[in-house]
Amino acid sequence: MPTVELGAENFESTVTDNEIVLVDFWASWCGPCRQFSPIYDAASEEHPEIVFGKVNTEAEQALAGAANITSIPTLMAFKKGNLVFSQPGALPAPALKQVIDAVVDLDIDKALAEQASKESGE
């Protein structure tokens, strides 16, 4: 599936309405962003079951601010609406594949239960 442009109007619904969503925060003037873009686009074609979104930080400054984006590119991964990965920097294809595999394999329900247990002091 090709990447989807995300903005303030569709970011939250995209993240919450899909099982897995990867989001690339980028800008047109950013060299590493331009290097990462074809790698990200190729991964989106290889994984049609995952939503790959892009946020143009120049056009969506408020959204980038709300997401605490301090450097670009930044890749975020959400599973069942929960942020499970966030890292700045352009990833090479093998590293992006590792992130995708880890997110797919993550048992988010178990992870959330463990986190809740730790926070309640059990």
**Residue 23, strand partner residues:** 53, 76
- Does residue 3 contact residue 54 with C-beta atoms inside 8 Å? yes
C-alpha to C-alpha distance for 47 and 119, rounded to whole angstroms: 34
* C-alpha torsion sign, points 67, 6, 60, 16: negative
Catalytic residue among 15, 20, 21, 30: 30
C-alpha to C-alpha distance for 89 and 24, rounded to whole angstroms: 10
Among the listed residues 98, 62, 97, 56, the one whose alpha carbon sits nearest the alpha carbon of residue 74: 56
Widest pairwise Cα distance in the chain = 48
Catalytic residue among 33, 64, 69, 76: 33
- Whether 72 is catalytic is no
- Whether 47 is catalytic is no
As annotated, the active-site residues are: 30, 33
